[in-house]
């Protein structure tokens, strides 16, 4: 599928996430037949309204596909030891087949120490050092460990819309933990076979890289960093960045990394919101279901 009339095909993350969830619902039903109920745990520390809303959304997603949810909450002044104890409890809880520690943790918490305590086999985010290491080590084999949700969502979306990836030049903008630093590990697997360039604040000529790209993954968190004049006509552009900016009316609005006008040049474009965000949420559920499938044998 390519764009008609110079406007990009919309990579509809909401529709794709619904399809992912429909598939998971079938697999959850099959597990339940065998007496296995997948369960997602969430650890929420503090009372940030944004984080609380995200966590509520994850529990709603779980209910949609038949996954049980286990909600753990701690006050903002919880100690490092209390947070670590909750992680240990979920590691030991057989009803929990996967869990996340909602980020960011309150200032003063050693986030990396907490995340490293998560049982890698229950790592629903797919960002545990052991799982990132497993990805590095398995270029050929099917990877059977949890995968990072947002990179997986990006690739799933591209494949669903049949955007060619074999041999494609993919330019990733941003070297953050959740996307930039890990997505290349998935894109360069032999079954995907893309060539990946990772651009960041030290990149000398970002525009020159973007102009050569067949696929742009914009994950810098810099509003408008990908401009229409830098996108090769027909390229696929995925807008992964999320920034809070003050709109014309003085209210905070969420905005992506892709500038207006890219939709007239690109062949495919993921909107933001409604693109990669819903896929991240759906693939979190996939990690939980797959962990339950592996545990059930
Ligand atoms: N341990 C951990 N894992 C995470 O995956 C994690 C986290 N902590 N902390 C916060 C960020 C943020 N994040 C989002 C995922 C989906 C949307 C999403 O679906 N957004 C909608 C719009 C907003 C909405 O409708 O809620 C969209 O793009 O269409 C947003 C944000 C996951 N995070």
All domains of the chain in start order, with CATH: 32-134+279-296 (3.40.50.10860), 148-273 (3.40.50.720)
Average pLDDT, the chain: 95
287 lines ligand 1 (CB under 6 A): no
pLDDT value, residue 6:
60
Catalytic, 12? Answer no
CA distance 231 to 243: 21
How would you class 202 by CB atoms within 10 Å of its CB: exposed for 0-12, middle for 13-18, buried for 19 or more? exposed
How far apart (Å, rounded) are the C-alpha atoms in residues 284 and 41? Answer: 11
Tokens 């070297």 correspond to what residue? 175
- 176 within ligand 1 shell (Cβ under 6 A): no
User: In which band, very low, low, confident or very high, does the pLDDT at 141 lie, cut at 50, 70 and 90?
Assistant: low
Three-state SS at 281: helix
* Contact by Cβ (8 Å): 42, 55: yes
Structural contact between residues 54 and 149, judged by C-beta atoms closer than 8 angstroms: no
Q: What is the pLDDT of residue 33?
A: 97
Q: Does 224 sit in the ligand 1 pocket, CB within 6 Å? A: no
User: pLDDT higher for 294 or 4?
Assistant: 294
- CA dist 266 to 5, 118, 250, 258, 263, Å? 11, 40, 31, 11, 6
Q: Which two tokens stand for residue 267?
A: 């062949």
Q: What is the ipTM of this complex?
A: 0.94
**Interval between CA 297 and ligand 1 midpoint (Å):** 31
Decide if 93 is catalytic.
no
Q: Look at residue 186 and tell me whether its pLDDT is greater than 80.
A: yes
Model pLDDT for residues 81-133, shown as the tens digit of each residue: 999 999 999 999 999 999 999 999 999 999 999 999 999 999 999 999 999 99
Q: What angle do CA 117, 136, 181 make, to 5 degrees?
A: 80
The answer to the question of whether 176 is labelled as a binding residue is: yes
Residue 88 contacts residue 117 (beta carbons within 8 Å): yes
Q: Is 86 a catalytic residue?
A: no
Catalytic-role residue among 125, 156, 214, 230 = 125
Give me the residues paired with residue 252 across strands: 246
* Residue 202 marked ligand-binding: no
Number of residues written out for the chain: 297
Q: Which of 234, 242, 241, 243 is nearest to 269 (CA)?
A: 234
Q: For tokens 């965000």, name the residue.
A: 277
Q: From the candidates 21, 61, 102, 239, give the one annotated as an active-site residue.
A: 102
Average pLDDT in the 188-213 region?
Answer: 97
Q: Tell me the pLDDT tens digit for each residue of 26-48.
A: 999 999 999 999 999 999 999 99
Using the mean position of ligand 1's atoms as its centre, give its distance from the Cα of residue 53 in Å. 9
């Amino acid at each position: 599928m390519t764009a008609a009339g110079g406007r990009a095909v919309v990579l509809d993350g909401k529709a794709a996430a619904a399809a992912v969830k429909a598939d998971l619902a079938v697999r959850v039903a099959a597990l339940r037949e065998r007496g296995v109920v997948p369960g997602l745990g969430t650890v929420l520390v503090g009372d940030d309204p944004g984080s609380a809303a995200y966590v509520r959304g994850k529990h709603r997603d779980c209910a949609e596909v038949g996954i049980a949810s286990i909600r753990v909450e701690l006050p903002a002044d919880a100690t490092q030891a209390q947070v670590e104890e909750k992680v240990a409890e979920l590691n030991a809880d057989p009803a929990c087949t996967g869990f996340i520690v909602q980020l960011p943790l309150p200032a003063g918490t050693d986030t990396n120490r907490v995340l490293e305590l998560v049982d890698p086999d229950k790592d629903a985010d797919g960002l545990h050092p052991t799982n990132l290491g497993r990805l590095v080590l398995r270029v050929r084999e099917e990877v059977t460990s949890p995968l990072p949700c947002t990179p997986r969502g990006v690739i799933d979306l591209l494949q669903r819309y049949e955007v060619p990836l074999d041999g494609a030049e993919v330019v990733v903008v941003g070297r953050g933990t959740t996307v930039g630093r890990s997505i290349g590990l998935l894109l360069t697997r032999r079954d995907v076979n893309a060539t990946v360039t990772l651009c960041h604040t030290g990149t000398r000529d970002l525009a020159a890289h973007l102009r050569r790209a067949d696929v742009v993954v914009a994950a810098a968190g810099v509003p408008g960093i990908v401009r229409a004049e830098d996108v090769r006509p027909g390229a696929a552009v995925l807008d992964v960045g999320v920034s809070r900016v003050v709109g014309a009316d003085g209210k905070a609005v969420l905005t992506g990394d892709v500038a207006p006008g890219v939709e007239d040049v690109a062949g495919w474009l993921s909107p933001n919101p409604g693109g990669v965000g819903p896929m991240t949420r759906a693939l979190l559920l996939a990690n939980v279901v797959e962990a339950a499938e592996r545990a059930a044998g």
